[in-house]
Amino acid sequence: MTLSLDSHERKSRYLRDLFERTYIRDVLERNKIKNDENSLEILLDVLASGIGSLINPSRLSNTFKSERKISLVPDTIDKYLGYFEDSYLIRKAVRYDIKGRKYIKTPSKYYYSDLGLRNARLGFRQIEETHLMENVLYNDLVRRGFDVDVGVVEIATMEGGKKVRKQLEVDFVVNRGNDRYYIQSALSIADPEKKKQEIASLLRIPDSFKKIVVVRDHMKPWKDDNGIQYVGIEDFLRNELILKD
């Protein structure tokens, strides 16, 4: 018997059924969850909507209580997130303080291992290019065998005559053996102000490891005066040697 997936509707239905029959059932049965399927479903939707966003179990717990009238303590949410990881539905990226050379336990980011399942989960309603591109890059880096974290660069700045500390984000801190790369995902850097915003964290990293900005648009790879490399996502995905160039 041949499965026909010759239309968007059939493909979408197949992915949704796969999600329900395989992944959710696996989580429920393997972890002996009987009375909390609704909370699991809501949590999966939250993760699907928030790929690339920082997830804090304590804040999620408050959101469940205030918006859904569901009591779900942070430890339970953290446990459920672990179940999803064990089922290969999502992957976790931990924040790493680049200057302080230490990991920050919470909040973390979560990416879907399969974007088709993620999109079907949301009925193909939330197709934000920024988040999807970031998820694609994350999955590809993991596929290549890298350890991938979310970078944090702390800076001191003046606001209203007062000195304040801020955290700038590096989308990915990528490690494999002695190799390390800092990678930013950006739809476009055509706007000078947007480019300045994207590279602000990279310029403040106090080491000489390679720094890369991956953009949606096709472009010939090039480097600026700061040594930051710019490359289109198609070239980045197709040519694994581009990290070495």
pLDDT tens, the chain, 245 aa long: 445 555 667 777 777 777 777 778 888 888 988 888 888 888 988 999 888 899 999 999 998 999 888 999 999 999 999 999 999 999 999 999 999 999 998 899 999 999 988 888 887 776 778 899 999 999 999 999 999 999 999 988 878 788 888 999 999 999 999 999 999 999 999 999 999 999 999 999 999 999 999 999 888 999 999 999 999 999 999 998 888 86
Q: Which residues contact 239 (CB under 8 A, 6 or more apart)?
A: none
Q: Give the number of domains in the chain.
A: 2
18/119 same-domain check? yes
Q: Which residues contact 15 (CB under 8 A, 6 or more apart)?
A: 116, 117, 119, 120
Residue entry with tokens 């602000």: 200
Residue 168 covered by a domain: yes
Residue 203 domain boundaries: 147-243
Nearest to 20 by CA among 35, 46, 40, 6: 40
Could you tell me the CATH number of the domain that includes residue 171?
3.40.1350
pTM of the entire structure? 0.89
